[in-house]
Amino acid sequence: MGLVGALSLTTVAVADEQKPPYQASERAHELAQKHLIIDTHIDVPYRLKKDWEDVTVATERGDFDYPRAKAGGLNVPFMSIYIPANLEQTPGASYQLAHELIDSMEALAWRAPDKFAIAYSVDDVMTQYEKGLISIAMGMENGSPIEGDLDNLTTFYNRGIRYITLAHSESNHIADSSYDIRKQWNGLSPFGKELVTAMNNIGVMVDISHVSDEAFWQALEVTNVPVIASHSSLRQYTPGFERNMSDEMIKGLAENGGVIMINFGSSFVTQQANRYNAMIAKQAEKIREELGADSEEAKARIATLRASNPYPYATLEQVLNHIDHVVKLVGIDYVGIGSDYDGVGDSLPVGLKDVSTYPNLIQGLLDRGYNEAEIEKILYQNLIRVWRAAENYAANH
């Protein structure tokens, strides 16, 4: 679940009006259906908790359902077991919600066994792919349900959790958050360091999306297994946005053998989108101060402000720039897809609006000269390599 962070108020023509709709070629669609596509961050569980729909059939809302996933070639959505940061303050609340969200994914697979199956391993993914099933893998976004007890790690591993994002929008008992100015641990907590080792030993991938820079570097020091950034983009294009990764961090990730899965949310992709909300909020606050917070005139002025400054959606090309930058910086083996579908609200780029649009991404890669073997690495092989490494290390510890 991405925080759609700060935003930039320079009036910008909406990207939809600048370009015609993207048209993926027959070749791009063929590659999408031919090869596995793994997306390491899709927020269906929390979406359905808030607004239930039957995603085994076409839905009116959201970014994911079975027909769109099949059309886009998506084989392995890592469903995010997203835990709001504030639940850490209530003992047992994070743990309870995590189990409820896992239950919902098990129920989804149970209701449609001809469409979905839970994937507990890479071998499960491969077997289910041969059967034409979409594999539901699960990652826990925010480690607060561990609640300081390594037995809970075992419990969630047994239920199918295959990565844990150490923190989310606030620091927790494991790690500092990139969004939280209170760096209470200056990185990982003592328990957080124990947890990383325990995750290595049991076969749960360490996800460093959302954590502070210090926590990232400390996680690399502690881990014996490659880590992932399940849904992060590049600070190169969003200066000052700590939630994204710097070039030095990407180099460190590559040296570790890990992989950054690119987040599609516009506020992760472009500086203008990243700053837009904060600038709109600042202008709106001035209007409220001048005209009265609840006055009709203030409401009308704010509505005009928003209408005259439309959200500056990122484009497919700008998402591709992030992939290109990683490849040029450290090589083709360290980048993948972590879209944050259903997690970033109405901030998805033009051309990548839902899970049916992976062929557009493939078309963009083809247009930029990537060959089929390189595209395979981005679509699934890089993540499979890290997942296998986690499995193999755990099998020997």
Sequence spans of domains, the chain: 25-270+315-395, 271-311
Confidence at 21, pLDDT banded by 50, 70, 90: low
Given this model, what pLDDT does residue 106 score? 98
Confidence at 2, pLDDT banded by 50, 70, 90: low
Given this model, what pLDDT does residue 216 score? 98
- What does the pLDDT average to over 257-286? 92
From the number of C-beta atoms within 10 Å of its C-beta (0-12, 13-18, 19+), residue 215 rates as buried
Q: With contact defined as beta carbons under 8 Å apart, do 231 and 263 qualify?
A: yes
pLDDT in tens, 327-345: 999 999 999 999 999 999 9
Sequential DSSP letters for 205-220: EEE-TTB-HHHHHHHH
pLDDT in tens, 59-94: 999 999 999 999 999 999 999 999 999 999 999 999
Alpha-carbon distance of 377 to 384, in angstroms, equals 9
Q: Is the pLDDT of residue 8 over 50?
A: no
Given this model, what pLDDT does residue 352 score? 97
Given this model, what pLDDT does residue 18 score? 41
Alpha-carbon distance of 192 to 375, in angstroms, equals 35
H-only helix segments in 118-172: 122-130, 150-158
- What does the pLDDT average to over 245-260? 98
pLDDT in tens, 212-241: 999 999 999 999 999 999 999 999 999 999
Q: Is the pLDDT of residue 6 over 60?
A: no
Give domain 25-270+315-395's CATH number out of 1.10.3720.10, 3.40.91.10, 3.40.50.20, 3.20.20.140: 3.20.20.140
Given this model, what pLDDT does residue 243 score? 97
Confidence at 1, pLDDT banded by 50, 70, 90: confident
Q: Is the pLDDT of residue 16 over 80?
A: no
Q: Is the pLDDT of residue 12 over 60?
A: no
Given this model, what pLDDT does residue 192 score? 98
**Cα–Cα distance list, 315 to 18, 143, 229, 269 (Å):** 10, 32, 22, 9
Confidence at 7, pLDDT banded by 50, 70, 90: very low
**Cα–Cα distance list, 116 to 60, 127, 380 (Å):** 20, 12, 18
Length of the chain: 397
| Average pLDDT for the chain | 93
Task: Report the run of H or E that residue 382 belongs to, with start and end.
Answer: helix 382-395
Confidence at 256, pLDDT banded by 50, 70, 90: very high
Signed CA dihedral, 354, 360, 361, 362: sign only? positive
For residue 351, give both structure tokens. Answer: 């051309």
**Cα–Cα distance list, 275 to 5, 185, 306 (Å):** 7, 28, 14
For residue 46, give both structure tokens. Answer: 């929390």
- What does the pLDDT average to over 288-294? 87
From the number of C-beta atoms within 10 Å of its C-beta (0-12, 13-18, 19+), residue 67 rates as middle
Given this model, what pLDDT does residue 294 score? 85
Q: What predicted TM-score, i.e. pTM, was given to this entire model?
A: 0.92
H-only helix segments in 227-377: 247-256, 266-269, 271-291, 296-308, 316-330, 358-367, 372-376
Instruction: Kindly state the DSSP code that residue 339 receives in the 8-state scheme.
Output: -
For residue 218, give both structure tokens. Answer: 């400390």
| Interior/surface letters 366-396, b for 16+ CB within 10 angstroms, e for the rest | beeebeeeebbbbbbbbbbbbbebbbebbee
H-only helix segments in 159-212: 190-202
Confidence at 13, pLDDT banded by 50, 70, 90: very low
Alpha-carbon distance of 347 to 15, in angstroms, equals 12
